[in-house]
C-alpha cells in the first residue's frame, strides 16, 4: 500500500491556499489590486500589502440554526448570528504570499491592539490612519461576501468617498445588477405607496421612489416603512439586506448550471482514483466518505438558498398580486439574517466548483490520483467545517 508523504506545498495550511486562490467573493487581495494600478483602500501602507478574507463563524451552526429571536421587539443582535467572520492575512513577505504569515480576525479579542502591533504604529499620525482604516474594515465586516458590487454599495452608504475605478468590474455589469434589483423591487415600492393612499403614480414619482433603494435616508422611505410598520431606525439595514438578497438571487441563477455539474461530478465515477488499487479498502472508503460529505454540505447550501428565495417570491406575490403585506413584512424583518445566510451559502457553492476547477474540467472531468482527489475534497470542506482551516490567534500570532 502507498506510504503517504507530504511535500513542501502539502505542508502549507489549506486555508492559505484558499485565501490566495479563492473566488473574489471570498478574498480581497490588496496587493494584486495595487499591481493592477487600482487605488489603495487604506492609508496604512502595510495594511495595503495584505489580503482580506471571509471565513465561517464556528460559534453557530450555519445549516441548522434557529431563526434569530427578536430582542426588545423587532431589534436583533445581528453580530451574534453572522455566519461569516472577516479576517486579514498578513504575509511574512508581500512579494511571496505563499511563504506564510499570520491572521487577525476582526471580532477577536484585542483586535485594536493586534492591529497596532502588526502595522507599525509609531506616531499620532500613524494611530489616526490606522483608526480610519479600522473603521473601513468594520464596514467591510458588515457585508457577507467580498463581491465588488456589495463592497462599493456598503462603503458608499457609509459616506466613504471611493475613486471611480475601485470595486468596479464594469459599468455594464453595475448597470445590469442595478436594473435587476430595481425591476424586482419597484413593484413592491409602488404597491406600498399606493396602499398608503397616494393613488396611481406617475413615471416621475416612481423614479423618485426608486431612489430610496440607493438612499434610504430620502423622505420617501418613510412612506414605505410606515406601510409595513417598520421602525425608521431599521430602514437602512433592511434596504441593504433586501438589495443584497436580490443580488444573491441573480448570482444563484448564474451559478446554477455549474452546481448541477458539481453534483454530477461528486456523485459519479470520476471520483474513483486512478491508483485506487495502491490504497487499502479503508483508504478508499475514507475518500468516498469525504466526497459524500462534501456533496451533502453543498446540497444543504443550495437547499438553503432555494428556501430563502422561495419565501421571498411567495411574499412578493402575496403583496403585489393579492395586496397581502403580512408575509412580506415578516420577510423584510428577517432579511438581515437571510442576507448573511445567502452570503455564506453562495460563497460555499462558488468555492466548491472553483476548487474542483483547479484540478479538472467540470465539462469533461478526468480521473485523478488518490492524493489529488483527497487534497481537492479537503479544500472544498474547509469552508464548511473547522478541519485544518480556522486558525485561532493570540498575541503570538501563529502562522497560517
- Residue 104 within any structural domain of the chain: yes
- Residue 1 within any structural domain of the chain: no
- Residue 400 within any structural domain of the chain: no
| Tally of domains in the chain | 1
Its domain, for residue 241, covers 14-381
Distance CA 195, CA 205 (A): 15
- What are the tens digits of pLDDT across the range 94-123? 888 888 888 999 988 888 888 888 887 666
Task: Detail the DSSP E strand segments found in the chain.
Answer: 27-29, 51-56, 84-91, 101-105
- Residue 8 within any structural domain of the chain: no
- Residue 153 within any structural domain of the chain: yes
Question: Among 90-99, 184-193, 298-307, which stretch is predicted with the lowest mean pLDDT?
Answer: 184-193
> Per-residue pLDDT for 328 more than 70?
yes
Judged by DSSP in three states, 41 sits in: coil
Dihedral sign for Cα atoms in the order 312, 316, 317, 323: positive
- The arrangement of strands across the sheet holding 84-91 comes to 27-29, 51-56, 84-91, 101-105
Mean model confidence pLDDT for the chain: 82
What is the number of residues in the chain? 400
Q: What is the pLDDT of residue 116?
A: 83
| C-alpha 73: how far from chain center | 28
Going by pLDDT thresholds of 50, 70 and 90, the confidence category of residue 227 is confident
- Residue 389 within any structural domain of the chain: no
> Per-residue pLDDT for 170 more than 80?
no
Question: Among 9-13, 24-28, 171-175, 245-249, which stretch is predicted with the lowest mean pLDDT?
Answer: 9-13
The partner residues of 102 in beta bridges, in order of sequence, read: 90, 399
What are phi and psi for residue 317, nearest 5 degrees? Answer: -65, -45
pTM: 0.84
- Residue 270 within any structural domain of the chain: yes
Q: Which range scores top for mean pLDDT: 128-132, 187-191, 319-323?
A: 319-323
- Residue 388 within any structural domain of the chain: no
Amino acid at each position: 500500500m502507498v506510504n503517504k508523504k507530504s511535500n513542501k506545498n502539502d505542508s502549507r495550511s489549506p486555508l492559505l491556499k484558499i485565501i490566495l486562490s479563492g473566488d473574489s467573493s471570498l478574498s480581497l487581495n490588496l496587493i494584486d489590486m495595487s499591481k493592477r494600478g487600482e487605488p489603495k483602500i487604506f492609508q496604512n501602507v502595510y495594511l495595503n500589502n495584505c489580503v482580506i478574507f471571509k471565513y465561517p463563524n464556528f460559534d453557530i451552526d450555519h445549516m441548522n440554526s434557529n431563526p434569530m429571536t427578536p430582542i426588545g421587539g423587532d431589534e436583533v443582535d445581528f453580530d451574534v448570528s453572522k455566519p461569516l467572520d472577516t479576517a486579514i492575512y498578513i504575509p511574512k513577505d508581500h512579494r511571496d504570499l505563499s511563504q506564510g504569515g499570520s491572521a487577525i480576525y476582526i471580532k477577536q479579542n484585542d483586535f485594536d491592539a493586534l492591529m497596532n502591533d502588526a502595522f507599525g504604529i509609531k506616531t499620532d499620525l500613524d494611530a489616526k490612519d490606522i483608526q480610519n482604516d479600522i473603521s473601513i474594515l468594520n464596514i467591510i465586516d458588515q457585508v457577507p461576501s467580498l463581491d465588488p458590487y456589495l463592497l462599493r454599495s456598503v462603503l458608499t452608504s457609509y459616506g466613504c468617498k471611493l475613486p471611480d475605478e475601485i470595486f468596479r468590474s464594469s459599468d455594464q455589469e453595475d448597470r445590469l445588477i442595478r436594473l435587476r434589483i430595481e425591476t424586482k423591487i419597484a413593484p413592491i415600492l409602488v404597491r406600498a405607496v399606493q396602499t398608503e393612499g397616494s393613488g396611481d403614480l406617475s413615471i416621475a414619482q416612481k423614479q423618485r421612489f426608486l431612489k430610496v433603494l440607493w438612499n434610504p435616508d430620502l423622505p420617501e422611505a418613510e412612506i414605505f416603512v410606515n406601510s409595513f410598520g417598520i421602525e425608521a431606525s431599521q430602514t437602512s439595514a433592511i434596504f441593504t439586506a433586501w438589495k443584497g438578497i436580490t443580488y444573491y438571487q441573480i448570482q444563484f441563477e448564474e451559478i446554477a448550471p455549474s452546481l448541477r455539474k458539481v453534483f454530477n461530478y461528486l456523485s459519479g465515477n470520476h471520483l474513483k482514483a486512478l491508483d485506487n488499487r495502491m490504497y487499502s479498502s479503508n483508504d478508499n472508503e475514507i475518500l468516498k466518505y469525504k466526497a459524500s460529505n462534501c456533496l451533502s454540505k453543498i446540497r444543504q447550501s443550495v437547499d438553503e438558498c432555494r428556501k430563502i428565495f422561495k419565501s421571498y417570491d411567495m411574499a412578493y406575490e402575496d403583496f403585489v398580486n393579492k395586496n397581502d403585506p403580512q408575509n412580506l413584512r415578516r420577510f423584510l424583518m428577517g432579511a438581515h439574517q437571510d442576507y448573511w445566510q445567502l452570503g455564506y451559502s453562495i460563497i460555499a457553492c462558488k468555492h466548491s466548483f472553483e476548487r474542483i476547477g483547479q484540478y479538472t474540467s467540470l465539462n469533461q472531468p478526468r480521473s485523478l490520483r488518490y492524493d489529488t482527489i483527497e487534497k481537492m475534497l479537503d479544500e472544498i470542506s474547509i469552508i464548511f467545517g473547522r478541519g485544518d482551516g480556522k486558525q485561532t490567534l493570540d498575541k503570538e500570532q501563529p502562522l497560517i
